[in-house]
Structure 1
Amino acid sequence: MNRAGLYELLTGRFADGRLLEEVPERQHLALSVADHIERLLNCREGALATAAGYGLPDTSLIHANQAVSREQLRSAIVRAVSAHEPRVSEVAVHDRPAAGRPFVPGFRIMCRLRGGGRLEIDGWLAEEGALRLRPRPPAAGGDGA
């Protein structure tokens, strides 16, 4: 059973450009969720009149060295993902350095997939102000989520 989302089924590919058939089917759900979370987090709250609260507040004021800013970002991510991604539960966000990107705010989103398994996504604030995400590969011998 294909567990890719509607967006991926319509486009035939994941956000990273890989075609559905190039990715093992057991990874479709995790990649689809990660793709949707990246689109969600890069939408500005209030930009969609039909989806109140969809997206994040303006992230241009987030600075890596300000604990209050980081906490606001973590809280906003948890709220947005919990409210707008029904395929996950138990959402948590933790600070972590952005790999290979000194002085760049980094974080890890951890959640439970409703179909079973865990999903971890590393994220960072890119230079242009967008949030970039990279799903962590499932653990060897894991459940593929």
Structure 2
Amino acid sequence: MFTLYETLRGKHLNGQPLAEYPGKDERLASIHDHLVRLLNARQGVLSHLPDYGLPDLNLFYQDLPYSEADMAVSVKSIIEKYEPRLRQVQVSPLPRDIQFAVVRMEISGWVVGGDRVRFKTYFKSTGEAEVLQAIG
């Protein structure tokens, strides 16, 4: 199952065309693409979905390292609400990269009707979230 955005565009975020019948790889690519959009969106930007996306990351960065757990809870709750293809979502902070001001987290869960997946995610001080491809 593809997201509405992918269906309208006819391709994945990386530009690859959608398969007519999505398989496991296409499903994981679609979940990845949606996580990239979801974690890079900020709450309040969409008037019809005011809680879509993360709160302002600057608030979390100001209170580091104490706010990592709060950030993980926010990421988990937003994924549980807006990515229904993932179940039993867990978000675990990884050691920070102090030199480059990057907060690292691992997002894991079960794809509905599929396998367990993990996404390494980097939250940069610029506010950008980089989600790496799924690890099965």
Range into which the TM-score falls when normalised by the shorter chain: 0.7 to 0.9
Aligned-pair distance for 1:86?
1.4
Contact in 1 for aligned 2:105/2:121 (Cα 8 Å): yes
Contact in 2 for aligned 1:64/1:70 (Cα 8 Å): no
Match of 2:41 in 1: 43
Partners of 2:56 and 2:35 in 1: how far apart? 16
Aligned-pair distance for 1:87?
1.4
The CA deviation string for residues 98-126 of structure 1, in whole angstroms up to 9 with x for no partner, is: 79x75421111001111221221111123
Aligned-pair distance for 1:97?
4.3
Partners of 1:65 and 1:47 in 2: how far apart? 24
Which secondary structure does the structure 2 equivalent of 1:112 belong to?
A: strand
Aligned-pair distance for 1:58?
0.3
> Quick one: which of 57, 76, 84 aligns to 1:59?
57
Q: TM-score normalised to the size of structure 2?
A: 0.82
**Percentage identity across aligned positions?**
28
Aligned-pair distance for 1:64?
9.6
Task: Give the count of matched residue pairs.
Answer: 133
Contact in 1 for aligned 2:101/2:125 (Cα 8 Å): no
**Equivalent AA in structure 1 for residue 76 of structure 2:** V
Name the CA shift for 1:64/1:28 in 2 (closer, same or farther; >3 Å): farther
Q: How does 1:110-121 map to 2 (within 5 A)?
A: 110-121=108-119
Match of 2:92 in 1: 94
Name the CA shift for 1:98/1:12 in 2 (closer, same or farther; >3 Å): farther
**Equivalent AA in structure 2 for residue 136 of structure 1:** A
The CA deviation string for residues 22-62 of structure 1, in whole angstroms up to 9 with x for no partner, is: xx832111111121122111111122221132111100233
Aligned-pair distance for 1:71?
1.1
Partners of 1:18 and 1:98 in 2: how far apart? 32
Partners of 1:19 and 1:87 in 2: how far apart? 21
**Equivalent AA in structure 2 for residue 73 of structure 1:** M
Match of 2:4 in 1: 6
Contact in 2 for aligned 1:108/1:120 (Cα 8 Å): yes
Aligned-pair distance for 1:80?
0.4
Which secondary structure does the structure 1 equivalent of 2:31 belong to?
A: helix
Once superposed, which parts of structure 1, at least 4 consecutive aligned residues long, lie more than 3 Å away? Answer: 61-65
Partners of 2:132 and 2:96 in 1: how far apart? 11
For structure 1, the residue ranges without an aligned partner over 5 or more in a row are 139-145
Match of 2:105 in 1: 107
Q: TM-score normalised to the size of structure 1?
A: 0.77
